[in-house]
Structure 1
Amino acid sequence: MTVTLATKITILRILLVPVFVGFAIYYAESVRAGAAVEAYRYGAMAAFATASISDGIDGFIARKFHQESFLGRWLDPLADKALMLSAILVLSFTPWPYHFPLWFPILVISRDLSLIAGAILIKLVHGKVEIDPHWSGKIATIGQIAAISWVLLQWDHPTYIVAFAGLFTAISSIIYMRGFLRQIHPAESEPSA
């Protein structure tokens, strides 16, 4: 099997996840020790930024040069979720100067688990599942990236951006669940003659 350039970039994104986590944890431990080592924070920021930017690059290359592949379709969302969830968990449960409130990782993780469980259920019941991207999901992802970046950059007042990300994460979860319910009970969503 030939591994395309787009897929190689996706694999690089996956490999950047433990790099990000390592820098972020080392920084948190330096904060706990009372002597924050900013180089660790910069390393975490660089790894997160590189992985985030390369997400757009691998998608562009795959579409522009017709490098879509089965492996790439599986690895791309895995890379996205690995980066986002690891960042949210590390920035929630380590002693960064600001960390996410407990409700935020619970909301994000429960949304993702609900979507996975819903997709599996529909696949088992109907043999196929359709997940149409919705604007609310894209806004939720942008909000989560912004919230993570805000904390990494240590800007003031992150509460507002975290609340924004949480709001759209909840909204997108409801919209996707309604879409799943329509697939389970298609007759109920069709207008009567």
Structure 2
Amino acid sequence: MAARSWTRSRGAPRGRFGSLPNLLTYGRILAIPALVACFFVAGDWGRWAAMWIFIAAGVTDFLDGYLARAWQQQSALGRMLDPVADKLIVSAALMMLAADGTIAGWSLWAGVIILCREILVSGLREFLGTLAVSVPVTRLAKWKTVLQMVAIGFLLAGSAGDKIWPYTTMFGLTLLWISAILTLYTGYDYLRAALSHVMSEDD
């Protein structure tokens, strides 16, 4: 087993365009048009297909990081594209759910909070990167991401899932609000880190 792992690590392209972790990230980006297309399919089939595409994308999100570390294939390209792919597919899913009315009324605010936080964190990371300052992802932020992905998965099942379990949509909306609350808190951590460096530079 050890010899096989060593061979795979040495034989696979390390930090290159075609490495497996990067291919998984590309696949997550390419899944976005397929996810959106599912909302134009009449009937329950489109909802179930959208849910499974999103679940598959979530699995690749875990696998690309795990394999990059395990096979020592971490690259600048992967570090750049991975968070971009995550934000794109989450944003696309939330917008389509809002467009078809699954997320409506007050629940739209939960989606707005999540989207605004993603934009805020991207800007703050870019700013902190110019200062050579890294802000590690906290455990709470990881839990927020898990809850957010689960919430969107339930909401993608939506009306089709309600036929099997009547509380599918309601459960998804509840998790979405919990994710939004955690989003505010974790987003504040990034903002506080950025402001502390701004204040120290001004002094």
- Provide TM-score, normalisation by structure 2: 0.78
Does 2:54 match 1:39?
A: no
SS in 1 for 2:74: coil
After TM superposition, the structure 1 stretch with the greater mean CA deviation from structure 2, 111-120 or 138-147, is 111-120
Structure 2: which 5+ residue stretches go unaligned? 1-15, 159-167
Q: CA deviation at 1:168?
A: 0.5
Could you report, residue by residue, the CA deviation over 1:80-138 in whole angstroms, capped at 9, with x for unpaired residues?
1111111111112223xx325220221112112222232344455xx323221112221
State the partner residue of 1:163: 177
User: How far apart are the structure 1 equivalents of 2:65 and 2:77?
Assistant: 13
Give 1:18 shift.
Answer: 1.1
Q: Residue 185 of structure 1 aligns to a residue in which SS?
A: helix
Residue 118 of structure 1 contacts residue 177 of structure 1 at CA under 8 Å; is this kept in 2?
A: yes
Q: Number of matched residues?
A: 175
Contact 1:10/1:72 (CA < 8 Å) preserved in 2?
yes
- SS of 1:129's equivalent in the other structure is coil
Question: 1:156: Cα distance to partner?
Answer: 4.7
Is 1:142 matched with 2:146? yes
Report SS of the residue matched to 1:102. helix
* 1:88/1:148 contact within 8 Å kept: yes
1:38-187 matches, cutoff 5 A: 38-95=44-101, 98-99=102-103, 101-123=107-129, 127-154=131-158, 155-158=168-171, 159-186=173-200
CA contact (8 A) 1:136 1:171 kept: no
- Asked if the contact 2:21/2:67 (under 8 Å) is kept, the reply is yes
TM-score, with structure 1 as normaliser: 0.81
Instruction: Give runs of ≥4 in structure 1 deviating > 6 Å.
Output: none
Q: CA shift at 1:40, angstroms?
A: 1.0
Judged with a 3 Å threshold, the aligned counterparts in structure 2 of structure 1 residues 173 and 15 are, in CA distance, closer, same or farther, namely same
Identity of aligned residues (%): 25
Deviations 1:37-64 (CA, angstroms, capped at 9, x unpaired): 1111121112111111111111111111
Distance 2:119 2:199 in 1: 21
